[in-house]
Structure 1
Amino acid sequence: MTELIRIGLVGLGGQVQKNHLPALLVSKSCSISAVCDSDASLAQSLGAELGVPSFTDLQSMASSKLVDAVLISVPHSFHFELTRVALENNLHVLKEKPFAINTEEAVYLAGFAKTRGLVLMTCVQRRFTDSSISFKRNLTLVGDPYLMNARYSMDIQYLSEGWRGSDTLSGGGCLIDMGYHLIDQILWYFGVPRSISASFSNGARPFQNYEVEDSASLLVDWGNLHGTVQISRAMPPKMDYIEVFGTNGSLSLSKGVLILRDRSGNPVLETISAQLKIDPYLRQLDFFAYCIGYHVSPPSHIPQVSLIDRCYSQYLLQMEK
């Protein structure tokens, strides 16, 4: 495969401009051929800056025949319809997480893409970081794992600002948004759990008006392995780590620092990632282009969405009490 995959950007917010756009501008597998946003002035401005046509709706972009694929980065509630339109127009799709806001939508989109022979891939750049890959490769060194703990938290002062505070627009709070990355990591490392128990809260900012959970605590069980997961938009300090304990020792990963310890807790291996921020996004684009060029299906995200669905079902039961 030698030709660049022509990508149209759909949704031109912060995630695209800070992360995806810089990677696309230097990618050797993909190129930007059009931009699209409901904000006409934003679309026109960025289109002029990049020297590509701009659109205000996806159907017009698709009809132009200027793109082979789209990168969708919009509020969660618009994911399904935009992905469906793209697939209907025989466009491959690289989309921001979550893959879908419920299992029914996830199954439909995955089946639709498969029927059309199109690549439908979710942006989970943690799978493309050196440290995350190293964690997976070194898992066997801990022996038989029996305990796992993970936390992804930050302290956002105004949880009511923007579309993420609206249940209608977001489909949920911290779990389906920032937590999606951690859920994906856990399933990648350990597989689908046998059971999961979830508790939620949305009282961290009592004088702010937001409709979704600000914090979630999960108890996850694979059988011989079990563990806890904490996700929060309101819990300082900012933390991002995962650790697993096994019969031969433990392995932890936090902010690019990987540490392997023996059974007594003594470090036997420590690595610090020197990877540039742009690298995982470049690798993600390369893998997307590879899947298109060689007719490879990227990993399914139905398990991730189904697991989150199970958690939210418990949330609804809590709210009814």
Structure 2
Amino acid sequence: MVNPIGIGVLGLGKHGERYVGHLERDLPGLRVVAVSRRDDRQGRSRAASLDAHYHADVWGLAADRAVDAVVSVVPPALHPEVVRACAAEGKPLLLEKPFAIHAEDAASMAGQIQDAGIPVMVAQTLRFSSAARRARDWLGEVGSLHQIILGQSFEPSRLSWLDDPEISGGGNILHTGIHEFDLARYLTGAEVLEVHCMAGRVATEKTEDSFVASLFMGDASGCRILGSVTASRGTRSRYGEIRLIGSRGQIFCDHALHRAMLLQEGRVVAEEVLPDIPTVREALAAFEKVVRGTEPPPITVEDGLQAVGIADACYQSLRSGRRVTLPQDQENTNAYLRHARPRRP
């Protein structure tokens, strides 16, 4: 029996408690030894119920000698400080998506992580869904990809901070679209070269809760893929489409409805009802391997940075009403960051 890894959990809101629940129930190799929450009274009470240390901020939590690694589940405006604290203390970090609010912040954070040499995994948890896994399993059955279509819709959020751009940094593009941007890269192996985005508000007041983005993607082999990404947080229903169209067939999966179909020659050749896999649990299990040094991060800092760069380009497209080209080399990346501006929906 290996010794449990001491985990410090930063953020005990709705999603943070989801992480704590899995740590307590499902992962004997990980143990909550310290927590931090903005509400001091509630944080101390929860720490006592977990028999864990309480810290008022990330600096105290990262410096705690009982903490071997940090799981951060706080709004992205706080991520730069989380990275600084973990880098200073040399603590491995699992950082909830989005990696950062802006590409400029993401690049700075990536530099600090590289200088500190700490392992960091970005919690783009949709990769662990049974739908994404099945879609990836079937890629060899559909030939050369030329289209990817990704969509999500669900209920308006009850979290007020999500509609405060000073805390959230943006709306549905940054907080839901970021999953889809990551999946587009993960499933196709291609990078996003251009985006064109439109957005609106259904139930929100300050940030967008509905958007549509067109992606033009490519890889080193010269393959070009057209992509469509949509998301709505303004309906009383849910779906989570993943569709990949290739020269020999197409894949349709839904991570909300847990369905998967493989189509070839005008017919369905495989159809499945998929298991509802707890994606946060799977992310934590992968992070345990990262901390123990047995596997590298399956979702890297570079993955997080690229997804934020796509979101940034979508916001630039909203402001300009035009297609936006993403940088594909360091010189262009530096120029892109110099001209980045704070986003407003």
TM-score of the pair, normalised by structure 1: 0.90
Equivalent AA in structure 2 for residue 305 of structure 1: V
* 1:157–1:176 distance in 2 versus 1, CA, 3 Å: closer
Whether 1:214 and 2:209 are equivalent positions in the alignment is yes
Counterpart of 1:303 in structure 2 is 306
Aligned residues: percent identity? 24
What SS does structure 2 have at the residue aligned with 1:33? Answer: strand
Q: What SS is found at the alignment partner of 2:252?
A: strand
Matched, 1:245 2:248: no
Correspondence for 1:35: 35
Shift of 1:133: 1.4
Contact in 2 for aligned 1:87/1:93 (Cα 8 Å): no
Contact 2:80 2:105 in 1 (8 A): yes
Q: In 1, are the aligned partners of 2:128 and 2:282 still within 8 Å (CA)?
A: yes
Divergent runs of 4+, >6 A: none
Q: Which amino acid aligns with 2:207?
A: V
Aligned ranges 1:85-234 → 2 under 5 Å:
85-156=85-156, 162-190=160-188, 191-202=190-201, 204-205=202-203, 210-222=205-217, 224-234=224-234
- 1:156-188 alpha-carbon deviations (Å, 9 max, x no partner): 177xx6111111111110010122112211110
CA contact (8 A) 2:151 2:230 kept: yes
- Quick check: 305-314 or 102-111, which moved more? 102-111
Cα deviations by residue, 1:104-162 (Å, 9 ceiling, x for unpaired): 2112222222221211111122222333112112112111222222211123177xx61
Match of 1:81 in 2: 81
**Cα distance change on mapping 1:225 and 1:131 into 2, 3 Å:** same
In the alignment, structure 1 residue 258 sits paired with structure 2 residue 260: yes
2:291 is matched with which residue?
A: 292
Mapped contact 1:77–1:168 kept (Cα < 8 A): yes
Q: 1:293 to 1:127 in 2, by over 3 A?
A: same
Aligned with 1:237: secondary structure?
coil
Whether the aligned pair in 2 keeps the contact of 1:12 and 1:42 (CA below 8 Å) is no
> 1:94–1:123: 8 Å Cα contact kept in structure 2?
yes
Judged with a 3 Å threshold, the aligned counterparts in structure 2 of structure 1 residues 50 and 316 are, in CA distance, closer, same or farther, namely same
The one-letter code of the counterpart of 1:22 is G
For 1:210-257, what per-residue CA distance to the aligned partner results, in whole angstroms no more than 9, with x for missing partners? 211121111112254213111111145322111122221110111321
Cα distance in 1 for partners of 2:64, 2:139 equals: 48
Counterpart CA distance in 1 for 2:87 and 2:307 is: 21
Aligned partner of 2:317 among 310, 314, 318: 314
Alignment correspondent of 1:271: 272
Structure 1 portions without partners, runs of 5+ = none
Asked if the contact 1:29/1:285 (under 8 Å) is kept, the reply is: no
Distance (Å, rounded) in 2 between the aligned partners of 1:21 and 1:259: 34
Distance, in Å, in 2 between the alignment partners of 1:214 and 1:64 is 39
Give the aligned residue type for 1:227.
Answer: G
Q: Which runs of 5+ in 2 are unaligned?
A: 219-223, 322-342
Secondary structure of 2:192's aligned partner: coil
Q: 1:7 to 1:249 in 2, by over 3 A?
A: same
Partner SS state of residue 140, structure 2 = helix
Give the letter aligned to residue 171 of structure 2: G
One-letter amino acid of the counterpart of residue 113, structure 1: I
Preserved contact between residue 71 and residue 93 of structure 2 (Cα < 8 Å): yes
- Tell me the distance in 2 between the aligned counterparts of 1:276 and 1:313: 35
* Secondary structure at 2:67 match in 1: coil
Give yes or no for contact 2:172–2:231 (8 Å, CA) kept in 1. yes
Q: Distance in 2 between matches of 1:157 and 1:95?
A: 21
Provide the aligned C-alpha RMSD in A. Answer: 2.1
Question: Match for residue 12 of structure 1?
Answer: 12
Q: Give the SS at the match of 2:65.
A: coil
* Contact 1:110/1:120, CA 8 A, preserved across alignment: no
SS in 2 for 1:22: helix
Q: Is the 8 A contact 1:247 1:263 kept in 2?
A: no
How far off is 1:297 after superposition? 4.5
Bigger CA drift: 39-48 or 232-241?
Answer: 232-241
Contact preservation (8 Å) 1:8, 1:69: yes
Cα contact 2:287–2:297 (8 A) shared by 1: no
How many Å separate the matches in 1 of 2:112 and 2:34?
A: 24
**CA distance 1:156–1:283, shift in 2 (3 Å):** closer
CA–CA distance in structure 2, aligned partners of residues 239 and 182 of structure 1 = 13
